[in-house]
Amino acid sequence: MSQDSVRLEPVERLQLQFEIDQLNAAYAAALDDKRFEAWPEFFVEDGRYTVQARENFDRGLPLALMDLESRGMMKDRVYGITQTIYHGPYYTRHLVSPAQVLAVEGDRVKAQANYAVFRTKPAGVSEVYNVGRYVDELVRTPQGLRFTSRLCVYDSEMILNSLIYPV
């Protein structure tokens, strides 16, 4: 899919950007509200979720901090988050920039948006937890846009503690 795939009229491009922005807002709200069981539903059945350091992304290296290759693997991660992983509690708050539509080909879309995730521990201060960009491939389904791939490219070489919740 190239950036020249399909030229959209300005109104169509705005509508598509609005749909992606609404998807990103719903995604962020689900994570911030700790509705983790809703998280896999933002993806198609064989959707992929990857969290990768910018250094590896820029060099074309495959090593990723997290690489889930299906909705089933995401559901396993949700089970781990909610049932087996013990950690000190904290809240997250996602801020997501407006999406940039990169390419459209039929019902498939490539887009990206910047994100910042803040973490707040109860009775603690808020801190920057993870910052980067989402590199997304989406498809239109009967339920609306869904991710076929979400690549979270984080900027820092270090992340605070361990990555437990999706970004």
pLDDT reported for residue 6: 61
Tokens of 42: 């933002």
Q: What is the pLDDT of residues 89-99, one digit of tens each?
A: 899 999 999 99
Q: Tokens standing for 69?
A: 């290759």
Q: How do residues 132-155 score in pLDDT, each as one tens digit?
A: 999 999 999 999 999 999 999 999
**pLDDT one-digit tens code per residue, 73-117:** 999 999 999 999 888 889 999 999 999 999 999 999 999 999 999
Share of residues in the chain with pLDDT > 90 (%): 86
Q: In the numeric block, which tokens belong to residue 11?
A: 């109104």
Find out whether 119 and 104 touch, Cβ atoms under 8 Å: no
User: Stretch 56-79: mean pLDDT, rounded?
Assistant: 97
First and final C-alpha spacing in the chain? 25
How many beta carbons lie within 10 A of that of residue 158, not counting itself? 6
Whether residue 99 contacts residue 27, with contact meaning beta carbons closer than 8 Å, is answered with no
Count the neighbouring beta carbons within 10 Å of the beta carbon of residue 71. 20
Over residues 38-48, the pLDDT tens digits come to 999 999 999 99
Helix (H) or strand (E) holding 95: strand 91-96
Domains annotated for the chain, with CATH where assigned, are 10-154 (3.10.450.50)
Q: How far apart are CA 167 and CA 27, in angstroms?
A: 10
The pTM of this model reads 0.93
